Amino acid sequence: MPIIDSETSQVAETVLSAYGIEPASLTQHGGGLINLTLKVVTQNDDAWILQRLHPVFPPAINANIDVVTRYLAERGACTPRLQHTLNDALWVEVDGQYWRVLTFVPGRSFATPPDLIHATAAGKLLGAFHATLAGFSADLPCPRPAVHDPERHRAALIAALATHPTHRLHGEVRKLSGVIANQLAALPALPVTAPRLIHGDPKLSNLLFDAKARPLCLVDLDTLTRAPLPFELGDAFRSWCNLSAEDAPTATFELSLFAAAIAGYAEAAGEFVTATEASAIVPATEIIYLELATRFAADVLNESYFGWDAARFGSHGEHNLCRARNQLLAARALRAQCHDAARIVIRAFQAV
């Protein structure tokens, strides 16, 4: 992982001093798209994660992470914990940017599942996370807007098209927007289900595994919220079952990975999931692909949210156009197999 530039490293050292941590090395860590994530190692070989929060998140979300990870840890679950500063603060502000420190969990994360064993382990990890948090009844200190709200994201895409009429990729985004809208319109409305405490962004890179493919913990807890479970599961399966990178020119929906993951999930979550929630998993997965395609498409024009790779793409817009197309292709791949996927869900929950 690359060593970071001297300016960032100076700020990082200032932040770490609030925690009484003296870094011996600071390196960029993981492949996150949103926060800046640094691994800190001290002279004594203690390791920490230092993160600069993306401006889209208010720093008060750290209070959610603090209470939820404490709850998980008290129940014996592996989890990163939010470190408090020497003055008992949950974050540090430097020049209007917010930084936090988390305990480092030695584990590996993947962009796509290396095999079926990891897919099952991912399912078990998320199932255990949900089932454990089912007992967390307190309000979150910093309530968050729904992560998944296809209509809100649709409106944002329409607004982006109106705001950037002269953007060089406007025509491409307009075409894409029409195709996404048609595919969404062909889906049934999802049943109404009770809100659950969910992770909010359970893509595979936010799950850590040990070297033997055993599940460790979920990271990236900025999006903790209460929301319908089918969207959370749809978000997980849309990430875990598309073997292509999110920005590849092709996309798939791998039924074998889906079967492995849902079997792991059903085993760990067990009776926590209602029949209505289970019945909505497959259409919710397709909706999440389309919602994400919508968000990437809006960012092609807004050029403000998702990170981009200047080594592989000419601009922020081009990288996100590629991501939007990838998600749309995956949605189509799932649509073609949706009946088989629905049968797999029924079998997985019958077995528990």
Q: Under the criterion CB under 6 A, does residue 219 sit at the interface with ligand ADP?
A: yes
Cα→Cα distances 2→30, 31, 39, 314, Å: 11, 11, 11, 22
Among Mg ion, ligand ADP, none, residue 230 binds (CB under 5-8 Å by kind) = none
Cα→Cα distances 349→50, 184, 265, Å: 39, 27, 9
Q: Where are the alpha helices (DSSP H) in 241-315?
A: 255-269, 275-279, 281-302
Rounded-to-integer distance, Cα 129 and Cα 71, Å: 11
Give the residue with the Cβ less far from Mg ion, 206 or 285.
206
Q: Under the criterion CB under 5 A, does residue 206 sit at the interface with Mg ion?
A: yes
Rounded-to-integer distance, Cα 269 and Cα 77, Å: 14
Q: Under the criterion CB under 6 A, does residue 69 sit at the interface with ligand ADP?
A: no
Give the residue with the Cβ less far from ligand ADP, 102 or 333.
102
Give the residue with the Cβ less far from ligand ADP, 107 or 191.
107
Among Mg ion, ligand ADP, none, residue 79 binds (CB under 5-8 Å by kind) = none
Rounded-to-integer distance, Cα 99 and Cα 37, Å: 10
Q: Is 214 exposed, middle or buried (0-12, 13-18, 19+ CB in 10 A)?
A: middle
Q: Under the criterion CB under 5 A, does residue 32 sit at the interface with Mg ion?
A: yes
Q: What residues numbered 6-45 form the site for ligand ADP, per CB under 6 A?
A: 29-30, 32-35, 37
Among ligand ADP, Mg ion, none, residue 4 binds (CB under 5-8 Å by kind) = none
Least spacing, CB of residue 83 vs ligand ADP, in Å: 10
Q: Under the criterion CB under 6 A, does residue 85 sit at the interface with ligand ADP?
A: no
Q: Which residue of 66, 172, 220, 277 would you call a contact of Mg ion, by CB under 5 A?
A: 220
Rounded-to-integer distance, Cα 266 and Cα 15, Å: 42
Q: Under the criterion CB under 6 A, does residue 320 sit at the interface with ligand ADP?
A: no
Rounded-to-integer distance, Cα 83 and Cα 91, Å: 9
Q: Under the criterion CB under 6 A, does residue 225 sit at the interface with ligand ADP?
A: no
Rounded-to-integer distance, Cα 235 and Cα 220, Å: 14
Q: What residues numbered 103-132 form the site for ligand ADP, per CB under 6 A?
A: 104-105, 109
Q: What residues numbered 233-252 form the site for Mg ion, per CB under 5 A?
A: none
Least spacing, CB of residue 216 vs Mg ion, in Å: 15
Q: Under the criterion CB under 6 A, does residue 292 sit at the interface with ligand ADP?
A: no
Q: How many residues bind ligand ADP (CB under 6 A)?
A: 17
Cα→Cα distances 155→105, 199, 325, 335, Å: 38, 24, 19, 24
Among ligand ADP, Mg ion, none, residue 37 binds (CB under 5-8 Å by kind) = ligand ADP
Among Mg ion, ligand ADP, none, residue 80 binds (CB under 5-8 Å by kind) = ligand ADP
* CB hemisphere CA count around 181 (13 angstroms): 10
Residue 54 · residue 35 · CB < 8 Å: yes
Q: Which residue of 64, 112, 169, 220 would you call a contact of ligand ADP, by CB under 6 A?
A: 220
DSSP characters over 230-250:
HHHHHHHHHHHT--S-TTSS-
- Interface residues toward ligand ADP, by CB under 6 A: 29-30, 32-35, 37, 49, 80, 102, 104-105, 109, 205-206, 219-220
